Structure 1
Amino acid sequence: MERLKALEIFKAVADHGSFTKAADAAHVGVPSVSRAVQDLETLLGVQLFNRTTRKVTLTPVGHTVLEHAAGVLDCYEDLARVSNDIALDVSGDLRLEVPALFGMSRLAPILANFTREHPKVRVDTRLVDHQGETLGDLADLSIVVGRAAPASCVARQLAATRFGMYASPAFLSGAGMPRHPDDVRPEHCMTVIAGSHDATLALTHAVTGERSALRARSAFRTNCPSALISATLDGLGMAVLPESIARLSESRGELVRVLNDWRAPSLDTLLVYRTRRNLPLRVRKLIDCLVASFGDDEAGSLSPLRMPPNVPAVAHIKAHAHGARWAA
């Protein structure tokens, strides 16, 4: 940039025939103009101006350098103009990485609305397991669950990922409805957040503060929430699942939430990207969209109890009185 500035000052001196007038045009002091011209002459190894007490004129080689300098400055202006047009246009490709634990059910409607609002943006969403890098080389943005963002990246908080305990009606008809975590047999307990065959999940009672735990020792193990839901629907056992992923099956009556008064620790959910500076407008727009949408999602998770379809009001009131919790 210093060399580009020197070319701009050199051209200003040539255009105005004066170091003083060039300084005024470039908004710098006369000593800065003189130094820039001297540095450029030293760099090129030629004399650019003939200087007298009354005027400054280009040397023959100065005329040649001016032609090339003008071409360089014009190219830079074209580049700046094109870059500015691109930066201000909400268009182009955008890649977003999403962990399976977060799930697409809560994200897909947001991305669909975003692409409808910005039809020239193409959003490539990839499911990842984040066992390696938190933000892949080709990704513009990454959603991270339960992991810290690299120090070199920017992280924005999204709605926390919360968990619940679920089972199929068929399984509960045989095993019974658990009233306490101790009622859940370890061999019937599955969890997608298990890092080992024998995982223990701490629980806290929402009212009394009592602490307990679920021990997941099922023979079925997976880090894929959809596979765990399938196993739960098939009656293999009870599963600890992200609420957002289990919500659809629960609303259909395919899964039943159990141990409603017990809370598992939620996991921090972050939106990660590399820098705040010079982000394309399409990326900035999606960042704002996701942060705003999941801010609403956070608020929605605290909304009043709502009655599911086809449930009589009396039944709803009784369920509320007994501390039951319907799916939102």
Structure 2
Amino acid sequence: MNKLQAMEVFVEVVDTGGFTRAADNLQLPKATVSTLIASLETALSVKLLHRTTRHVSVTADGAAYYERCLRILSDVRDAEESLSRTRLSPSGRLRVDVPTGLAHDVIIPAMPDFFTRYPDIQVEMGCSDRSVDLVEEGVDCAVRGGVLVDSSLIARRVGMLDFICCAAPDYLRRYGIPAHPRELLQHRCVNYFSSRSGKILEWDFTRDGERLQVALPGLIAVNDTNAYIAAGVAGLGIIQTAGFVVDAMLADGRLTTILDDWSIDPLPVHVVYPQNRHLSAKVRVFVEWIAELFASHPGMRLPKAPPPAARAAPSPLESAV
């Protein structure tokens, strides 16, 4: 039995949900597909698939093996790619992870351009505000906001996010407009808590050499960008977020900016990938494409000079990325 071929067949059966379609896609006789799966199960001494006359589903062992097969086959393709001319036309499955806000507002809307350039790449994009373990979860690269703390990752800075404070007009009519960050202590704020530590994150402000970092009262705390913005629009309190995320809501009046004469530390954005993993052509072109995309986005561009201070940890705004 050719083990790599058997893995490819198994992955195709799982992806398509059946032997017939997998055989068609791989241009193999259905009997060959069945034989390879049976041989694989015999060699592994586990049942990988549940079979009925109408349906094929993966077992618990099969699901775990499927994930391993994806990684192995991807590594094999990457190794071949690095030694062949296919580097000029990258292909294959690319697993990336991006923060919710960036996915929704910046990356997803631009993906048609990426697929026009690289039609042979299939992207699996995880969208969340949690920090995934790239190696453990088999992710090729990730976009992350904030100062990086994982020294095992190679990082390329691709953007900087500027932040604003804003609230729903109805909230401001009911509770007033704060003129100084200290007045936020008498207001309701929507808080954001870290998915890693569960800690509610503080807000920072700078003006004319005065710098404040405050923990603020609030009725609600969330750890998801969409929920965070929705809470602000619903009038649950003041929010501090990346400006580009709420541009449309500021334009149509759902939100109003406050404390405009105060600065908020910008948030660096990086693309990261494991240092012990070969930078395949598909990862390389995705990283370059992200860098190009952010360079042309008014809310993401890198400054010409480094900012005076970099945020030491993500903020409600880890949300906004």
What TM-score do the two structures reach when normalised by structure 2? 0.60
Structure 2 residue aligned with 1:202: 204
Q: Secondary structure at the match of 1:178?
A: coil
Q: Which range is displaced more, 133-142 or 260-269?
A: 133-142
> What CA distance in whole angstroms lies between the structure 2 residues aligned with 1:225 and 1:85?
41
Q: 1:292 to 1:82 in 2, by over 3 A?
A: closer
Tell me if structure 1 keeps the 8 A contact 2:222–2:228: yes
CA–CA distance in structure 2, aligned partners of residues 262 and 155 of structure 1: 30
State the shift of 1:238 in Å.
0.6
Q: Any idea what SS the aligned residue of 1:271 has?
A: strand
Distance 1:103 1:255, change over 3 A: farther
Partner of 1:235: 235
Structure 1 132/93 Cα, relative in aligned 2: closer, same or farther at 3 Å? closer
Q: Any conservation in 2 of the 1:166–1:255 contact (CA below 8 Å)?
A: yes
The match for 1:265 is 265
**Cα RMSD (Å) of the superposition?**
3.1
Could you list the per-position Cα deviations for residues 153-204 of structure 1 after superposition, in whole angstroms to 9, with x for gaps in the alignment? 3210021233211101111122222221123245501233566676532210
In the TM superposition, what is the alpha-carbon distance from 1:222 to its structure 2 partner? Answer: 0.4
Q: Which is further off, 145-154 or 252-261?
A: 145-154
Matching residue's letter, 2:160: A
C-alpha change, 1:290 and 1:131, in structure 2 (3 Å) is: closer
Secondary structure class of the residue paired with 1:292: helix
Taking structure 1 as reference, are residues 80 and 256 closer, same or farther at Cα in structure 2, changes over 3 Å only?
A: closer
2: CA distance, partners of 1:277 / 1:121: 18
User: Which residue in 1 is equivalent to 2:119?
Assistant: 119
- CA distance in 1 between counterparts of 2:81 and 2:93 reads 20
Amino acid at match of 2:284: R
Distance 1:90 1:131, change over 3 A: closer
1:250 is aligned to 250
- Cα distance in 1, alignment partners of residues 81 and 241 from structure 2: 50
Q: Which runs of 5+ in 2 are unaligned?
A: 1-78, 304-321
Aligned residues of 2:95 and 2:141 also touching (Cα < 8 A): yes
Q: What is the CA–CA distance in structure 1 between the aligned matches of 2:82 and 2:205, rounded to whole Å?
A: 56
What is the alpha-carbon distance in structure 2 between the residues aligned to residue 299 and residue 102 of structure 1? 11
Aligned to 1:167: 167
Is the 1:144–1:270 contact (alpha carbons within 8 Å) kept by the matching residues of 2? yes
Structure 1 or 2, whichever has the larger Rg, is 1
Deviation at 1:272, TM superposition (A): 0.5
CA contact (8 A) 2:94 2:124 kept: yes
1:139-158 alignment, distance < 5 Å: 139-148=139-148, 150-158=150-158
**Which amino acid is 2:145 matched to?**
V
Q: Which residue of 2 aligns with 1:215?
A: 215
* Kept after mapping to 2: 8 A contact 1:115/1:123: no
CA contact (8 A) 2:156 2:272 kept: yes
Per chain length, whose mean CA-contact separation is higher, i.e. which structure has more relative contact order (CA < 8 Å, sep 6+)?
2
* Residue identity opposite 1:245 in structure 2: V
Q: Which residue of 2 aligns with 1:289?
A: 289
Residue identity over aligned pairs, in percent, reads 23
Equivalents in 1 of 2:283, 2:91: separation in Å? 10
Q: Contact conserved, 1:160 with 1:298, CA < 8 A, in 2? A: no
Contact 2:200–2:221 under 8 Å retained in 1: no
Q: How does 1:6-85 map to 2 (within 5 A)?
A: 84-85=84-85
The residue type paired with residue 144 of structure 2 is V
Residues 247 and 214 of structure 1, relative CA distance in 2, 3 Å threshold = farther
- The structure-2 alpha-carbon separation of the partners of 1:112 and 1:266, relative to structure 1 and needing over 3 Å to count, comes to same
- Indicate conservation of the 8 Å contact 1:96/1:141, yes or no: yes
Deviations 1:198-244 (A, max 9, x none): 65322102xx2333344322120101121111111111111112223
Q: Which amino acid aligns with 1:124?
A: E
Indicate conservation of the 8 Å contact 1:189/1:216, yes or no. Answer: yes
For the 8 Å contact 2:160–2:301, the answer to whether it is kept is no
Counterpart code for 2:205:
L
Deviations 1:93-134 (A, max 9, x none): 211101236453122233232112222222221123444525
* Distance in structure 2 (CA, Å) of the matches to 1:268 and 1:101: 15
Q: Distance in 2 between matches of 1:224 and 1:120?
A: 32
Specify the SS of the correspondent of 2:159: strand
* TM-score normalised by L of structure 1: 0.59
Change (3 A) 1:259 1:274: same
